[in-house]
Amino acid sequence: MESQGVSRRYFRIVKGSLARRTLGPFFVFAGLMHFARRGWYEAIVPDYLPAHREIVIASGIAEIAGGGAAIVVRPRWIARWWLIATLIAVFPANVHMAANPERYSNVPRWALYVRLPIQGLFVLWVWRGTRS
Protein backbone atom coordinates (compact mmCIF):
# COMPACT_ATOMS: atom_id res chain seq x y z
CA MET A 1 0.00 0.00 0.00
CA GLU A 2 2.87 2.35 0.79
CA SER A 3 4.38 1.92 -2.69
CA GLN A 4 1.14 3.10 -4.31
CA GLY A 5 1.27 6.33 -2.27
CA VAL A 6 4.91 6.84 -3.19
CA SER A 7 4.24 6.30 -6.90
CA ARG A 8 1.31 8.75 -6.86
CA ARG A 9 3.43 11.34 -5.08
CA TYR A 10 6.27 10.75 -7.58
CA PHE A 11 3.85 11.17 -10.51
CA ARG A 12 2.60 14.47 -9.06
CA ILE A 13 6.18 15.71 -8.63
CA VAL A 14 7.21 14.66 -12.15
CA LYS A 15 4.04 16.10 -13.69
CA GLY A 16 4.54 19.41 -11.89
CA SER A 17 8.21 19.42 -12.74
CA LEU A 18 7.51 18.81 -16.44
CA ALA A 19 4.99 21.66 -16.47
CA ARG A 20 7.52 23.91 -14.74
CA ARG A 21 10.40 23.00 -17.07
CA THR A 22 8.43 23.54 -20.28
CA LEU A 23 6.29 26.54 -19.36
CA GLY A 24 8.92 29.29 -19.36
CA PRO A 25 10.68 28.30 -22.59
CA PHE A 26 7.33 27.88 -24.36
CA PHE A 27 6.17 31.39 -23.53
CA VAL A 28 9.55 32.94 -24.33
CA PHE A 29 9.44 31.23 -27.75
CA ALA A 30 5.80 32.25 -28.31
CA GLY A 31 6.66 35.84 -27.45
CA LEU A 32 9.62 35.86 -29.82
CA MET A 33 7.33 34.64 -32.59
CA HIS A 34 5.37 37.90 -32.24
CA PHE A 35 8.45 39.63 -33.63
CA ALA A 36 9.52 36.97 -36.14
CA ARG A 37 6.03 36.77 -37.70
CA ARG A 38 4.61 40.13 -36.68
CA GLY A 39 2.44 40.48 -39.80
CA TRP A 40 0.65 37.22 -39.05
CA TYR A 41 -0.03 38.26 -35.47
CA GLU A 42 -1.22 41.71 -36.56
CA ALA A 43 -3.74 40.02 -38.87
CA ILE A 44 -5.39 38.17 -35.97
CA VAL A 45 -5.88 41.24 -33.79
CA PRO A 46 -9.63 42.02 -33.84
CA ASP A 47 -10.59 44.90 -36.14
CA TYR A 48 -12.28 46.84 -33.35
CA LEU A 49 -8.94 47.24 -31.53
CA PRO A 50 -6.64 50.08 -32.60
CA ALA A 51 -2.87 49.97 -32.99
CA HIS A 52 -2.45 46.37 -34.12
CA ARG A 53 1.32 46.67 -34.36
CA GLU A 54 1.64 48.01 -30.83
CA ILE A 55 -0.70 45.33 -29.46
CA VAL A 56 1.39 42.59 -31.06
CA ILE A 57 4.61 44.08 -29.70
CA ALA A 58 3.12 44.47 -26.20
CA SER A 59 1.72 40.93 -26.16
CA GLY A 60 5.05 39.55 -27.39
CA ILE A 61 6.91 41.38 -24.65
CA ALA A 62 4.33 40.19 -22.10
CA GLU A 63 4.81 36.55 -23.13
CA ILE A 64 8.61 36.84 -23.08
CA ALA A 65 8.53 38.53 -19.65
CA GLY A 66 6.10 35.96 -18.24
CA GLY A 67 8.08 33.05 -19.64
CA GLY A 68 11.31 34.48 -18.30
CA ALA A 69 9.73 35.05 -14.91
CA ALA A 70 8.48 31.46 -14.83
CA ILE A 71 12.07 30.34 -15.34
CA VAL A 72 13.95 32.59 -12.90
CA VAL A 73 11.63 34.51 -10.55
CA ARG A 74 10.79 33.32 -7.08
CA PRO A 75 8.08 33.37 -5.88
CA ARG A 76 6.48 31.99 -9.03
CA TRP A 77 3.06 33.47 -8.30
CA ILE A 78 4.25 36.63 -10.05
CA ALA A 79 4.74 34.69 -13.30
CA ARG A 80 1.46 32.82 -12.69
CA TRP A 81 -0.72 35.90 -12.55
CA TRP A 82 1.22 37.72 -15.27
CA LEU A 83 0.81 34.83 -17.72
CA ILE A 84 -2.84 34.21 -16.83
CA ALA A 85 -3.56 37.91 -17.41
CA THR A 86 -1.71 37.70 -20.73
CA LEU A 87 -3.73 34.65 -21.81
CA ILE A 88 -6.95 36.47 -20.95
CA ALA A 89 -5.78 39.56 -22.83
CA VAL A 90 -5.03 37.66 -26.04
CA PHE A 91 -8.20 35.55 -25.92
CA PRO A 92 -10.18 38.04 -28.07
CA ALA A 93 -7.81 37.24 -30.96
CA ASN A 94 -8.79 33.56 -30.69
CA VAL A 95 -12.48 34.48 -30.64
CA HIS A 96 -11.95 36.81 -33.60
CA MET A 97 -10.34 34.02 -35.61
CA ALA A 98 -13.12 31.55 -34.78
CA ALA A 99 -15.80 34.12 -35.64
CA ASN A 100 -14.14 34.99 -38.98
CA PRO A 101 -12.81 31.68 -40.34
CA GLU A 102 -12.97 32.90 -43.95
CA ARG A 103 -10.14 35.34 -43.15
CA TYR A 104 -7.86 32.51 -42.03
CA SER A 105 -8.18 29.96 -44.82
CA ASN A 106 -4.63 28.69 -44.19
CA VAL A 107 -5.76 27.44 -40.75
CA PRO A 108 -8.17 24.47 -40.65
CA ARG A 109 -11.58 25.62 -39.45
CA TRP A 110 -11.66 22.99 -36.69
CA ALA A 111 -8.36 24.34 -35.33
CA LEU A 112 -9.86 27.81 -34.99
CA TYR A 113 -12.58 26.40 -32.71
CA VAL A 114 -10.30 24.06 -30.79
CA ARG A 115 -8.07 27.01 -29.87
CA LEU A 116 -10.83 28.44 -27.67
CA PRO A 117 -10.92 25.70 -24.98
CA ILE A 118 -7.17 25.19 -25.34
CA GLN A 119 -6.71 28.62 -23.73
CA GLY A 120 -8.23 27.09 -20.59
CA LEU A 121 -5.68 24.28 -20.76
CA PHE A 122 -2.92 26.88 -21.07
CA VAL A 123 -4.22 28.55 -17.90
CA LEU A 124 -4.13 25.17 -16.14
CA TRP A 125 -0.58 24.59 -17.42
CA VAL A 126 0.47 28.02 -16.10
CA TRP A 127 -1.16 27.25 -12.76
CA ARG A 128 0.60 23.91 -12.40
CA GLY A 129 3.90 25.11 -13.80
CA THR A 130 4.17 27.96 -11.34
CA ARG A 131 3.32 26.08 -8.17
CA SER A 132 6.23 26.28 -5.75
Domain ranges for the chain: 2-129
Residue 34 C-alpha from the chain's centroid: 13
Model confidence, pTM: 0.83
User: Under a CB-based contact definition with an 8 Å cutoff, are residues 15 and 128 in contact?
Assistant: yes
- Give the DSSP letter of residue 46: -
pLDDT digits (tens, 9 = 90+) for 37-87: 999 999 999 999 999 999 999 999 999 999 999 998 788 899 999 999 999
Instruction: Report the amino acid identity of residue 32.
Output: L
Q: How far apart are the C-alpha atoms of 31 and 104, rounded to whole Å? A: 21
Mean pLDDT across the chain, nearest whole number? 89
Q: How far apart are the C-alpha atoms of 132 and 121, rounded to whole Å? A: 19
| 3-state class (DSSP) for residue 97 | helix
Q: Residue 119: its pLDDT value, please?
A: 94
